[in-house]
A and B are shown apart, each in its own frame.
Chain A
Amino acid sequence: GAVVSQHPSRVICKSGTSVKIECRSLDFQATTMFWYRQFPKKSLMLMATSNEGSKATYEQGVEKDKFLINHASLTLSTLTVTSAHPEDSSFYICSARTGALTEAFFGQGTRLTVV
């Protein structure tokens, strides 16, 4: 299957700082990328959907000014957690797909810990 690389896999940051997470599709062009948040032993919670070259569509309850998403190219999307707080600590996962009806492939996830 197609490869999606997410970086970093783990990050620890101080409260109040910002953290950027990258999601890259290595061998295909991702017209759509999804960002998820996952709490321990819980399902994937969709945060936002981004299409290349346009603004991300955020799910209800997700603060767009706190979770900045940029999808500047067909192979890269970034999620920036701004002014992080301990409650933002979580597992963040991206996925990417090439078209409306094709399967999505996931990155390895990023474990964010805010101290």
Chain B
Amino acid sequence: GQQLNQSPQSMFIQEGEDVSMNCTSSSIFNTWLWYKQDPGEGPVLLIALYKAGELTSNGRLTAQFGITRKDSFLNISASIPSDVGIYFCAGTKEYALNFGKGTSLLVTP
């Protein structure tokens, strides 16, 4: 499927810092999803966004569905060591599910 443009590719931050990552596409998507993958595990759904402009929070995580329906961002506030992992964005369009290449997050105590 079509790859989304996800950035940054990796982040190395200190505990307590805020984190922001985003995904863009040349195509319009109907749904934006954000997943986290721990090493050796399958991705786990963090946030699902269904409407353009929608802003949704899940604890320290906040994600928004861009107004143009071609982008989304994920923010993590006050990062902690267990936030370490790879974060993937995904967009759905008709029956396809397209993934970004992931953002690898490292958090130092």
Q: A-side interface residues toward B, CB under 8 Å?
A: 1, 4, 6, 32, 34, 41-44, 46, 49, 59, 91, 93, 95, 97, 100-109, 111
Q: In the complex the two chains form, what is the Cα distance from A104 to B33 in whole Å?
A: 9
On chain B, the residues within 8 Å of A101 by CB distance are 30-31, 50, 92
Closest to B100 in A: A43
Contact status B45-A105, CB under 8 Å: yes
Q: In the complex the two chains form, what is the Cα distance from A109 to B38 in whole Å?
A: 11
Given A44-B88, A101-B30: A93 in contact with B95 (beta carbons within 8 A): no
**Size of B's binding interface in residues, CB under 8 A:** 25
On chain A, the residues within 8 Å of B104 by CB distance are 41
Closest to B104 in A: A41
Shortest Cβ-Cβ A-B pairs, 6 listed: A106-B42, A43-B101, A109-B42, A103-B48, A106-B43, A108-B42
Q: 8 Å CB contacts to A: which residues of B1-60?
A: 1, 3, 30-31, 33, 35, 40-45, 48, 50
Q: In the complex the two chains form, what is the Cα distance from A47 to B41 in whole Å?
A: 18
Q: List 6 A-B contacts (CB under 8 A).
A: A43-B99, A43-B102, A95-B97, A104-B33, A106-B35, A109-B42
